[in-house]
Structure 1
Amino acid sequence: MSTPPVITVPITDQQHLLFLFIPLKKGALAEALLAAQSVREAAIAETPVGDFRKTTGVHYFTIYVQADGAPTPGIPVPGFQSYPGKDVLVVMSIYDGQFDDYIGSFFKIKKVVENLDRLLKLIDEEGIPGVDPNGRTSAKFISKKGVVENKAAFYCLLMRYNFGDPVFSAGDKNGKYIFGTNFPGLTVAKVIDNYPNADKIWPPVPGQVSYNFPKAQKPDCE
């Protein structure tokens, strides 16, 4: 029986999981959700050069907010939880390449940076064991000069609340969770560059194409 070939996937072509649980000041949910969504909208609308989706390499993303002490709606068991006395912002995405390259790509757009700085001011790190709320990687410290002037510290801030591991790529079977892929090495840039009519199906300029997504049918569980 022959040994199957081993294909090495370069780091730049690997997919990784971002799964943030950001502690927020109580009562800041609406503003935090708006700031997070504005980051996405600004990235789409104001890309300085080329297609920003290829730069960030984001395959999928989720933004979710939950109030202090509130159960995750729609399921009968505990789901996401906030730190006691704080609300929580949950952000999940699957992205290509290195963590710092992915996050840093958002710094190129002014309105994205403005909303990241806005979000920093809503983070509450007081009273969390092992976290210095005034330290050099704290939201309070970074917000004094902003994320662009404190890039390395901002990466560390995000990593503090990131369940995802930027070293643990899809296909690795030795991490703290299972994260698989059906198409290893298929980056967002490769999809856009090689899919027929990709420029028409997914135009980078907002408003060129709109989509309607009819609701799918739930399973009949009665």
Structure 2
Amino acid sequence: MKAAAIMLIAAGIVVMFYPFLNHLYAAQKEKELMQEWETGQMDAARESFIKLDEVYREKEQEEKDTQSGSPIGMLTIDKIDLTLPILDGADQANLRVAAGKLEGTDHLEAKTGNTAIAAHRSYTYGKQFNRLDEVEVGDEIIVHSTNNKKTYTVFNKIVVEPTDVSVLESKAGEKMITLITCEPIRKATHRLIVQAR
């Protein structure tokens, strides 16, 4: 009887600290990716653009503790105190520890086009875009890529259906980024979109 009580108490402690430990793990992985970016080691992993909806819907499920690649850039939004590595591909492993560039959108280095970058909003892990809704038209977003640094100014903030891919369209002669996250934060029924040029 005493052994069973001790085991129940131990199990309760493990369950109680699991979210905290999970958050620490994600924060450590994010820090490692930032350090890797600073040392200039570049490697890309590609995943399907179409899987983004699936990735957001599965964010509450248990995942493998793996990552798919190395940073291709860094995203900074001073207004919300955010510095985040960008990985190539918006799969579950990447979005757990960083933002992911959607396959099929323009590269960070491109002089024109639309680069789409997705990240999670969550109360448990992947808190990268939790405060994205605080960004307003006129705010600045800085993107460091392999060979340059670009400063973008936000011109559009909207909420769209997950099937609305019009936000990924490019405008001739214009370089822009589209930041994508789930909306609302608890249940990903829509997408919060922030666009900057």
Instruction: Identify the TM-score tier after normalising by the shorter chain.
Output: under 0.3
Structure number with bigger Rg: 1
Q: How does the TM-score come out when normalised to structure 1?
A: 0.24
- Of the two structures, which has the highest relative contact order with CA contacts closer than 8 Å and spacing of 6 or more? 1
Q: How does the TM-score come out when normalised to structure 2?
A: 0.26
